[in-house]
Amino acid sequence: MSPLFGLGWLILLLAVINIEAQKKPAINISSKCLGNIMRVDVGPLGGNLLEVAVVFNNSAIPLTPSLASQHGFSMKTDKLGNAMIYVSLLNSFAQNLEDKAFTTTLNLRLYGNRMGEDELYQVSETCQYAAWASREIICDRNYMEVSVKRAAPDDYALPEYPVNGANSKFGDPRRAAEKQPMDTGFRITTLVFFTPEERMMTVSEAQRQGYRIGNTPSRLVLRSPKITPETYTQMVAGVPMTVLTTSTIFDKKWLATQIDIAASCPVLEGSVALTPNTITWYLPQHIDPLISSSQFKLLEVHMGIDGQRLDAVEMAARQYAVTVNDVHIIVEIPIGAVGGYSKSHVQDDQYFTSYTIEPMLELLWTEDTNHEDTRYKVLFPITTPLLPQPPQVVDNTLPEEQIFKVKIGPYASDVTLVNITFPSEVLSVGDCNVRGFNVQEHKSHNSSFKVITLQVPFTDRVVLPMRRGGITAYSLHLTFGLLVLPEFAPFSLTTYLEAELVDIVPPQVSGYCDQANFYVLVQYGTQGFNFQTTVGKQQMTSGLAQQYGFMENGTHFSFAVPFTAPDVVFEAVEASVIRTRLDVVLRNPETNKRLKQFSMACNFLSPLTECFPNGTMTALAVKLESVASLNPSRLTLRDPTCGPSYSDDRYAYFVFTGRSCGTTRKFLPSMMIYENEISLPDEFEASRMKTEEPEYELKVACYYDINTTHAVSFHTRPRRSEPYAENAKGELQVAMRLALDDSYSAFHDAVEVPIVKYLQQPLHFEVELMRSTNPKVSLELQNCWATLNKDRTSQPRWNLIINGCVNPVDPYQVVFHPVWSDARVQYPSHFKRFEVQMFAFAEDQENLSSQLFVHCDVVVCDATNPLGGICNGQCSNAKNRIKGQRRAVSDQSFKHVSTGPIFIT
Ligand SMILES: *[C@@H]1O[C@H](CO)[C@@H](O)[C@H](O)[C@H]1NC(C)=O
Ligand SMILES: *[C@@H]1O[C@H](CO)[C@@H](O)[C@H](O)[C@H]1NC(C)=O
Ligand SMILES: *[C@@H]1O[C@H](CO)[C@@H](O)[C@H](O)[C@H]1NC(C)=O
Ligand SMILES: *[C@@H]1O[C@H](CO)[C@@H](O)[C@H](O)[C@H]1NC(C)=O
Ligand SMILES: *[C@@H]1O[C@H](CO)[C@@H](O)[C@H](O)[C@H]1NC(C)=O
Ligand SMILES: *[C@@H]1O[C@H](CO)[C@@H](O)[C@H](O)[C@H]1NC(C)=O
Ligand SMILES: *[C@@H]1O[C@H](CO)[C@@H](O)[C@H](O)[C@H]1NC(C)=O
Ligand SMILES: *[C@@H]1O[C@H](CO)[C@@H](O)[C@H](O)[C@H]1NC(C)=O
């Protein structure tokens, strides 16, 4: 028994027991028949180790490297942990059915995983293969195999070699030195190696050296490790090849015959040329050691990967190329192409890759001289040396999008991005995605490389903006932290991105007014004239542009709007001045977003009231922005039957005389004042309360110089009338005194000035209608106020009584005291008394010991005919107060009194 079988038996006991525990595979196991070989794929192993044993005659024989090469097996594992076991159909342990069907059974043992449990699987595959050429040569990774159609007698045997059936016919031995017929009983006795010197070995000696010689029903098989003392290297067409040349001697009694067998396989070094992008493999077309005549025909050339042929479509898709010239068969493979794999390496923070691929060439040729064909199959694993992969950063940023878009790579698939370091912080890939940086890996469809993309918005805080002269430069410093798995070898890539954006300057609007018009100038921004203009409430149409004298010169446009135009709003009316405003809005026509909003307010002089010497008065009421819902046509003068003689939605124009429409008169020493008011009449006033129509009140007044009977001025004030009377003179005299206390029995003497009071000391005032004996007349206080100096119209001014009522905002409110008859007071209705606490004007905090003057407007009412308003009694009804003023004062006397100074200590 040979040493091989000794080992086999030893293993047998162990193996058979384990097979009992056979389970459904937890990993993928598949097998394929690939012509004269088969392939078993196992994996991914996931950290397990794989032991392969071949099952032969119910025993499992573990395949050591030397057994594998001797008997027709090889194995490789890729970096993903997938194992591929290549098996020659003519392996020593196959069950061979007439050289047409070959069954090989393997036991696979997975061990060394973390679970500590071995897993045992059995895989058995039967491959049909009958298209044997006269000679078939296989160059596997660890052996050379040659088989030839046998003409040797069928009864010779090698003791150890399994022979299933013995039906071989005699045929011409391949390259037989002597073509003599052989009959039964021939035995292989001797092997002669030509190294090139002759070296003879017995069969058993050769097998001890790792060779295998044996026969099948129709073929003689010789297998040799790639490198043995008997192989030698020969240059063939510039390609180094390992050559084995033998003669096998068959003996039968005194007869002998021999078959010459040669094998030749290419050596990696010297066969392959590398450029940075391509692997080029040269195989001699005419492999001299295998071809005796120069007349031969190459019938077929096939290329494949991992033992499996590829069709032309697949080759093109993977960008492989095979060309045949006079001398070589040339295979070109792009580095990184599908079919191989790249492995990453890190040295000094530099990134390298190596690329591994196992192309196959399968040739079929025939020789003219003997018409015998040879099938020649080379499995040719190639791994490139470390190729530097300089960092490639592709900046795909389009500044208008305001996002940095960067692509890095290519990296092999064993590289993973761990984190990105920005000057201010380090973010993991997860953090980046949460932050919206959209980190993505992109696998290539035709290569084993991938790229990584990242997007960082300009608005993120890791981006630094810098303004300079109308341009904003955005910059981004980043360092990618990368890792090669499974070694956990870190490396990094630092890069800097910059993008510039021209700042967007919005259009500018400016303007001014003259006596009649608003003038508007619009300067285009960086985006040019691509906005819509709204003037007031209207969009600038070509019609409006024409109306407003629109002019444009490529960088600016201008237009003029008369202050009376409907696009102008009235903000306020003061005397004969109308305060108006023009709004101009520029919008982006697509988004309707406001680019610019511009408002300009101007005062225009306009005679709102005209007074003619013949007593005719005219008044123009304008609708103010604050009472936008007012309908001017409803306005009337005091007499509600006096409506406007002309009105539209913005104006009401009134014509009236001093004797009509409720106009009242006041006499001053040299002047006559006619007054009227424009407002909504009562019926509308009532509905106004419901409809929320705005309150509107415009006071109209004309001053006539009595001396000349010419109109000298006009005056309008909206909403509130102010007293205009001068110091009281004439028949009715009114006096104001300051009492010493609230008994109102003793008074400061009018000559006893200055009167000095402490702050917050009460001041007791009394106002008396003098020299009147008419008990039906009453005196009412309309307005009382304090000033700092003697001029009653001076500022500052503090109101004590307004329209007969205490000033509601006064912190020390006026207290009215009733007046009773006594020795001094004959007619209480001719008196009014009130109390106020001494105060100082806040405007003069530096100097609190300043003086005060107190002034009052008084009204003398006819008690028999109280027409309402103030004459109804001091602060009798706030609502009537306003109305009464309008209606009922024509024959009342307005008087004015003052007292002071009162000094504060
Ligand atoms: C087996 O292979 C298939 C496809 O190739 C894959 O989807 C599956 O995950 C693999 N199973 C195991 C256990 O690896
Ligand atoms: C196969 O094993 C049996 C015993 O199990 C043995 O008798 C037989 O000789 C073996 N065959 C070969 C070819 O080794
Ligand atoms: C992959 O295909 C692209 C075109 O689709 C080509 O530009 C590139 O060179 C190919 N890469 C490889 C490795 O074949
Ligand atoms: C970033 O990832 C790299 C791996 O490439 C690692 O070495 C480094 O420590 C990480 N930095 C931080 C701050 O986590
Ligand atoms: C356009 O008009 C503006 C304002 O009048 C002026 O400043 C500017 O120089 C003009 N531009 C051209 C090109 O005439
Ligand atoms: C008063 O004078 C004005 C202006 O002169 C005139 O328009 C108006 O008709 C006159 N009114 C009367 C009643 O004469
Ligand atoms: C009107 O006459 C009075 C008294 O005669 C006089 O004081 C006053 O100055 C005159 N006014 C004008 C405006 O002439
Ligand atoms: C206080 O005001 C009075 C009157 O206005 C003035 O005469 C006096 O000089 C002022 N004193 C101070 C300290 O300002």
Query: Per-residue DSSP letters for 255-302?
Result: EEEEEEEEEEEE-STTTEEE-SSEEEEEEESS-GGG-SSS-EEEEEEE
- Which residues are 835's β-sheet partners? 764, 815
Q: Which long-range contacts (CB under 8 A, 24 or more apart) does 842-848 make?
A: 843/796, 844/788, 848/759, 848/904
**329 vs 700, more confident:** 329
The pLDDT of residue 745: 85
pLDDT, tens digit, for every residue of 657-669?
Answer: 877 888 887 776 6
Q: Which ligand is nearest to the CA of 349?
A: 4
> With helix as H, strand as E and coil as C, how does 550-573 read?
CEECCCEEEEEEECCCCCEEEEEE
Token pair for residue 511?
Answer: 């303007």
Cβ contact 95:164 at 8 Å: yes
Arithmetic mean of pLDDT, 473-492: 93
Average pLDDT, the chain: 80
The pLDDT of residue 168: 31
Question: Given the CA of residue 28, which atom of ligand 1 is nearest to it?
Answer: 1
Atom 2, ligand 1: which residue's CA is nearest?
28
Find the 710 Cα to ligand 6 centroid distance in Å: 14
Token pair for residue 465?
Answer: 């903006």
Find the 157 Cα to ligand 2 centroid distance in Å: 16
pLDDT category of residue 244 using cuts at 50, 70 and 90: very high
pLDDT, tens digit, for every residue of 37-76?
Answer: 999 999 888 778 899 999 998 899 999 999 999 999 999 9
Find the 250 Cα to ligand 4 centroid distance in Å: 70
Arithmetic mean of pLDDT, 192-212: 90
Question: Given the CA of residue 616, which atom of ligand 6 is nearest to it?
Answer: 1
Pairing of β 755-757 and β 893-904? parallel
R_g over Cα of the chain:
59
Arithmetic mean of pLDDT, 353-377: 92
The pLDDT of residue 880: 38
CA distance 73 to 219: 19
Half-sphere exposure of 135 (CA within 13 A, CB side): 27
pLDDT, tens digit, for every residue of 699-744?
Answer: 787 777 655 443 333 333 333 222 222 222 233 467 788 888 888 8
Token pair for residue 385?
Answer: 């040396």
Pairing of β 893-904 and β 538-539? unpaired
Q: Is 42 in the pocket of ligand 1 (CB under 6 A)?
A: no
Please count the helices (runs of H) and the strands (runs of E) in the chain. 8, 66
**837 vs 440, more confident:** 440
Element (H or E) spanning 207, and its range?
helix 203-208
Q: Say whether 609-705 and 508-605 share the same fold.
A: yes
Cβ contact 8:15 at 8 Å: no
Atom 14, ligand 7: which residue's CA is nearest?
707
The pLDDT of residue 885: 34
Element (H or E) spanning 9, and its range?
helix 3-19
CA distance 203 to 188: 7
Find the 352 Cα to ligand 4 centroid distance in Å: 19
Find the 711 Cα to ligand 6 centroid distance in Å: 13
Asked if residue 374 has pLDDT above 90, the reply is yes
CA distance 549 to 517: 12
Atom 10, ligand 2: which residue's CA is nearest?
57
Q: Is 614 in the pocket of ligand 6 (CB under 6 A)?
A: yes
pLDDT category of residue 902 using cuts at 50, 70 and 90: low
Q: Is 642 in the pocket of ligand 1 (CB under 6 A)?
A: no
Arithmetic mean of pLDDT, 497-511: 89
Question: Given the CA of residue 44, which atom of ligand 1 is nearest to it?
Answer: 14
Mutate to test the pocket of ligand 5, among 556, 557, 558, 559 (most ligand atoms within 8 A of CB): 556
CA distance 317 to 323: 16
CA distance 418 to 483: 7
The pLDDT of residue 362: 96
Atom 13, ligand 8: which residue's CA is nearest?
847
Cβ contact 606:570 at 8 Å: no
User: Which residue matches tokens 């013995």?
Assistant: 166
User: Which residue matches tokens 């002669």?
Assistant: 192
**707 vs 364, more confident:** 364
Question: Given the CA of residue 849, which atom of ligand 8 is nearest to it?
Answer: 1
Token pair for residue 346?
Answer: 């890190």
Q: Is 162 in the pocket of ligand 2 (CB under 6 A)?
A: yes
CA distance 445 to 336: 11
The pLDDT of residue 838: 74
Find the 435 Cα to ligand 4 centroid distance in Å: 19
The pLDDT of residue 46: 78
CA distance 795 to 786: 9
Asked if residue 892 has pLDDT above 90, the reply is no
The pLDDT of residue 694: 53
User: Which residue matches tokens 């012509």?
Assistant: 35
Cβ contact 675:724 at 8 Å: no
Find the 94 Cα to ligand 2 centroid distance in Å: 14
The pLDDT of residue 578: 83
Find the 85 Cα to ligand 1 centroid distance in Å: 18
Question: Given the CA of residue 657, which atom of ligand 6 is nearest to it?
Answer: 13
Find the 76 Cα to ligand 1 centroid distance in Å: 19
Reduced to 3 states, what is the DSSP secondary structure of residue 778?
strand
Q: Which ligand is nearest to the CA of 48?
A: 1
**Helix spans in 417-475 (H):** 429-434
Reduced to 3 states, what is the DSSP secondary structure of residue 245?
strand
Q: Which ligand is nearest to the CA of 706?
A: 7
Question: What are the domain boundaries of the chain?
Answer: 28-129, 139-162+169-266, 272-383, 392-439+447-502, 508-605, 609-705, 733-904
pLDDT category of residue 619 using cuts at 50, 70 and 90: confident
Q: Is 28 in the pocket of ligand 1 (CB under 6 A)?
A: yes
Q: Is 616 in the pocket of ligand 6 (CB under 6 A)?
A: yes
Find the 309 Cα to ligand 1 centroid distance in Å: 23
pLDDT category of residue 631 using cuts at 50, 70 and 90: confident
Q: Is 349 in the pocket of ligand 7 (CB under 6 A)?
A: no
pLDDT category of residue 804 using cuts at 50, 70 and 90: confident
Atom 14, ligand 6: which residue's CA is nearest?
614
Token pair for residue 500?
Answer: 């510039």
The pLDDT of residue 24: 54
Cβ contact 786:757 at 8 Å: no
The pLDDT of residue 108: 93
The pLDDT of residue 866: 52
Architecture of domain 508-605: Sandwich (2.60)
The pLDDT of residue 864: 60
Atom 2, ligand 8: which residue's CA is nearest?
850
User: What are the two backbone dihedrals, phi and then psi, of residue 66, each rounded to the nearest 5 degrees?
Assistant: -75, -40
Q: Is 210 in the pocket of ligand 2 (CB under 6 A)?
A: no
Percent of the chain residues topping a pLDDT of 70: 79
DSSP conformation class of 868: S
The pLDDT of residue 606: 77
Give the E-state strand segments of 448-593 in sequence order: 449-457, 464-468, 471-484, 489-502, 508-513, 517-523, 532-535, 538-539, 551-552, 556-562, 568-574, 577-587
How far apart are the two ends of the chain, measured CA to CA in Å?
140
The CATH label, of 2.60.40, 2.40.50, 3.30.160, 3.30.40, for the domain at 28-129 is 2.60.40
Q: Is 758 in the pocket of ligand 6 (CB under 6 A)?
A: no
**15 vs 341, more confident:** 341
The pLDDT of residue 750: 57
Q: Which of 856, 839, 894, 843 is nearest to 672 (CA)?
A: 894
Superfamily for domain range 609-705: Zona pellucida, ZP-N domain (2.60.40.3210)
The pLDDT of residue 315: 95
Arithmetic mean of pLDDT, 290-307: 90
DSSP conformation class of 735: E
Atom 4, ligand 8: which residue's CA is nearest?
850
Question: Given the CA of residue 492, which atom of ligand 4 is nearest to it?
Answer: 5
- Neighbouring residues of 24: CB distance < 8 A, sequence distance ≥ 6: none
Q: Is 709 in the pocket of ligand 7 (CB under 6 A)?
A: no
User: Which residue matches tokens 């000559």?
Assistant: 751
Half-sphere exposure of 279 (CA within 13 A, CB side): 28
User: Which residue matches tokens 């046998």?
Assistant: 150
Arithmetic mean of pLDDT, 582-592: 90
Q: Is 799 in the pocket of ligand 6 (CB under 6 A)?
A: no
DSSP conformation class of 529: S
Find the 521 Cα to ligand 5 centroid distance in Å: 10
Q: Which of 73-82, 241-250, 275-284, 658-667 has the lowest mean pLDDT?
A: 658-667
Cβ contact 658:676 at 8 Å: no
Question: Given the CA of residue 25, which atom of ligand 1 is nearest to it?
Answer: 13
User: Which residue matches tokens 């900046």?
Assistant: 395
Reduced to 3 states, what is the DSSP secondary structure of residue 183?
coil
| Domain 392-439+447-502 in this protein, CATH class | mainly beta
CA atoms 260, 367, 361, 91: torsion sign = negative
Per-residue exposure over 527-558, b if at least 16 CB sit within 10 Å of its own CB, e if not: eeeebebbbbeeebeeebbeebebeeeeeebb
- Fold category of 733-904 in CATH: Immunoglobulin-like (2.60.40)
Half-sphere exposure of 745 (CA within 13 A, CB side): 3
Mutate to test the pocket of ligand 5, among 523, 550, 555 (most ligand atoms within 8 A of CB): 555
pLDDT category of residue 1 using cuts at 50, 70 and 90: very low
Find the 607 Cα to ligand 5 centroid distance in Å: 37
The pLDDT of residue 850: 60
Listed ranges 306-310, 737-741, 871-875; the one with the highest mean pLDDT: 306-310
Q: Which of 142-156, 197-211, 689-703 has the lowest mean pLDDT?
A: 689-703
Q: Which ligand is nearest to the CA of 555?
A: 5
Atom 6, ligand 3: which residue's CA is nearest?
446
Arithmetic mean of pLDDT, 767-793: 79
Q: Is 337 in the pocket of ligand 3 (CB under 6 A)?
A: yes
